[in-house]
Amino acid sequence: MQKRKLGNNHLEVSALGLGCMGMSSVYGRPGDRQKMIEVIRAAVAHGVTFFDTAEVYGPFTNEELLGAALAPFRGEVVIATKFGFKIVDAQEAGLDSRPEHIKAVAEASLKRLKVDAIDLFYQHRVDPAVPIEDVAGAVQDLIRAGKVKHFGLSEAGVQTIRRAHAVQPVTAVQSEYSLWRREPEADVLPALEELGIGFVPFSPLGRGFLTGKIDANTTFDSADFRNLVPRFTPEARQANKVLVDWLGAIAARKNATPAQLALAWLLSQKPWIAPIPGTTKLLRLEENMGATAIELTAEDLREIDRCAAKTAVHGARYPQDMERMTGR
């Protein structure tokens, strides 16, 4: 597996990481714990050194899962986790990035992950009730105490990134970025390049849609978050089929799958981008890892851009109440 460095702080990670959220929440019922451990350890065997979790995934159980699965690989892997939500009775109950809460979350995450220091600690969502300077200062305190190594932000807007970075250098920003969500190209990516900050795209396969395995007739588990997402209504899926059709056609010429092409496209955008596709299946893990072997020529990239420019994506990426928490 190729390695990449995130930001001027030179955090070295595998070119592709593993997003672990879906193993415990969001896309249906939690996976079998032992099987999920097998997938995580298979990722390590494939050269993955970058694993993404958060206290709110589960809540708590996803961090515990990674703590158990990665215990034999201490010092060999980078674990990113997140703070920023209030959790009451094992349910997410709004935002909370007060400095005292951040520090309490860090202590709890260290125990669940079974580590001495958190490699990358993201603010999960920007909290309008807490100045970002106070958030950055709290993480700076944790870094000085040796409990956190790197500071990150998730779904933050450019002004927030700049203000945070002025207090405590930001190593990485995480946001949704893929062939069906390209908004970060407008202002976030140029700002990150200017500031020397790495970028970690989550949902790089469009929550599974860019794999080509989902169509208008697909049914989701009753606990699957996609049941609430406007972009995943049957009508939107049917309208968005044109995107995976041309993606699949180009992929076939490259002897690749649509998922592999979508990931290879992301990897080709900047050398400081490290996507974190998630999966609960060994077969899909192996498929995703194959993306790192695909070489896209300049003409390939132009063709993908031409097709994408002619393809309108239908439906919002979040329900309205969640969309308000992004991009501040």
* Residue 309 within any structural domain of the chain: yes
What single DSSP character describes residue 273? B
Q: Which pLDDT score, from 0 to 100, does residue 181 have?
A: 97
User: How many Cα neighbours within 13 Å face the side chain of 154?
Assistant: 21
CATH number, domain with residue 312: 3.20.20.100
CA distance 200 to 223: 26
pTM of this prediction exceeds 0.75: yes
Give the H or E element holding residue 202.
strand 198-202
* Residue 61 within any structural domain of the chain: yes
CA distance 156 to 123: 9
User: How many other CB atoms sit within 10 Å of the CB of residue 264?
Assistant: 22
Q: Please, what is the angle between helix 158-167 and helix 132-144, to 10°?
A: 40
CA distance 72 to 240: 42
Please identify which residue in the block is written with the tokens 């200017």: 194
* Residue 146 within any structural domain of the chain: yes
> Active site residue: 27, 57, 122, 177, which one?
57
* Residue 286 within any structural domain of the chain: yes
* Residue 260 within any structural domain of the chain: yes
Q: Which pLDDT score, from 0 to 100, does residue 217 have?
A: 96
Work out how many domains the chain is built from and give that number: 1
Domain of 156, in residue numbers: 3-323
- The yes-or-no answer on residue 122 being catalytic is no
What single DSSP character describes residue 294? -
At 249, list the tokens: 């056609």
Burial of 188 (0-12, 13-18, 19+ CB in 10 A): buried
Q: Which pLDDT score, from 0 to 100, does residue 322 have?
A: 79
At 137, list the tokens: 């200062």
Q: Which pLDDT score, from 0 to 100, does residue 126 have?
A: 97
Report whether 123 contacts 153 (CB < 8 A).
yes
Best CA proximity match to 118, nearest among 155, 135, 143: 143
* Residue 328 within any structural domain of the chain: no
Give how far Cα 149 sits from Cα of 22, 120, 142, 143, 297, Å. Answer: 25, 6, 8, 6, 36
pLDDT tens-digit profile, the chain (328 residues): 999 999 998 999 999 999 999 999 999 999 999 999 999 999 999 999 999 999 999 999 999 999 999 999 999 999 999 999 999 998 899 999 999 999 999 999 999 999 999 999 999 999 999 999 999 999 999 999 999 999 999 999 999 999 999 999 999 999 999 999 999 999 999 999 999 999 999 999 999 999 999 999 999 999 999 999 999 999 999 999 999 999 999 999 999 999 999 999 999 999 999 999 999 999 999 999 999 999 999 999 999 999 999 999 999 999 987 765 665 6
